[in-house]
Amino acid sequence: MTDKKTTSEPKQASPRPAAARAAAAQALQLVLQHGRSLTQALPQASEKLVGSERAFAQAIAYQVLRQLPVYEWLLSHLLDKPLKTKVRVVHYLLLVGLCQLRDMRVPAHAAIAESVSAASLLKQPALKGMVNAVLRRYQREMDALETQLALEQDKSATLAFAHPGWLLKRLQHAYPEHWQDICTANNQAPPLWLRVNAQQFSRDDYLDLLNSAGLDAVADTHCPSAILLQRSTDVTALPHFTEGAVSVQDRSAQFAAHILTPKNGERILDACAAPGGKTAHILELAPQARVVALDFDESRLQRVHENLQRLQLNAEVICGDASQADWWDGELFDAILLDAPCSATGVIRRHPDIKWLRRNDDISTLTELQKSILQQQWQRLKPGGRLLYATCSILPDENMLQIQAFLATVDGAVGKTISSDLSGVDLIQSATDGWQLLPAVSAEHQQSGDGFYYFLLEKKSDA
């Protein structure tokens, strides 16, 4: 059974505490009732908040989504009957209140009083008394409720590990020795990894800058560009951030460019490129490469432009569908990075809404899309060229099984062993099956990267 005290998001007072709590409730409603992603919902709900208020609302929303079944179970034992749809936002406000009382370092009187006040901001003043009564009841009955909850968690993996049943079954089948560690890692706040721009600083030199600035940081022993910040900080205040010296990117994601080994003069495609972190990393390693960044989402391509501008790098940015050929100019590529659309089950600790928005049926739909994109991009590759298939998934259907099916049906495609000196401590599969990286598979590796899969393909010269 997992420890209920798992959050390490920022705990801070808010200048307008009721407004922050109301925003958290609205964000949760957008995610859980209307199917919006948390990255879309939070900016919309917290639009009128200042920085510290926004951070507090974000901390609450993330923690509620990390432990949603627990809070829902508690609320089901505190409410006499479910709230009607027209006042459903108060249901999410109650989750916000329970989160503060149970898992955040917020004084109980403030958690209750400001949650009650938030009901008025949510245009539900008539339910202020009910909010007060429910949260005070939890205060009174907390010991008994938590004892009963612990007994229920012993019976229910969904309640114990705060993951939906379909995902638990897939993880248990794929990783019988690691599924519990994966779930525990998914419910933690993620570490903050930096990628040093090799065109501006060596990693050692930038590490010295961080330490001189009083920022506790360590170099990763497996990924040559990665630095781990021991404490979260405002990244815009990092030394030379605005000049492009460093970017925020998870360690596992940083492996992509190193595995692809880009070379100056090569024509390289980053398919499904937005928001552009891997595009930029390719250019940091090979600034004279001719890089094309492709993505179908025009709005997300704006992020690619912004990242390239800050990092002082140049690429051709194209809005197009990687599963089609109508964007292509007819010139083949020396190398392709295919960061395929996927379930994102490897980055749940960064996006806990994935657990509740994704459905089991989505996996087969995604695998068909991946298959289509992989077949299309293979045709864009020169004979003798290399294609790196990547996902931020930890499900074999999207990864090893996808590649096995491709190799079995496509002539001229061969798997290449990834350089062993890049290998990470949390590597699960053998090199012949590609790299399957998992988030924090053991207590010794709590500062690991996210869950990622990599497989390097080469097209035979006579293909």
The set of catalytic residues is 392
Nearest to 65 by CA among 359, 448, 357, 438: 357
CA-based max dimension of the chain? 76
Does residue 213 contact residue 207 with C-beta atoms inside 8 Å?
no
What is the distance of C-alpha 162 from the center of its chain?
17
- CA distance between the termini of the chain: 53
Residue with tokens 């194209």: 318
C-alpha distance from residue 409 to each of 133, 371, 375, 403 (Å): 63, 11, 10, 10
CA-to-CA distance for 185 and 448, rounded, in angstroms?
A: 10
Distance CA 287, CA 280 (A): 9
- Taking phi over 0 as left and psi of -120 to 50 as alpha, with beta for the rest, 263 belongs to beta
Who contacts 23 (Cβ-Cβ below 8 Å, separation ≥6)? 42, 45, 46, 49, 53, 54, 57
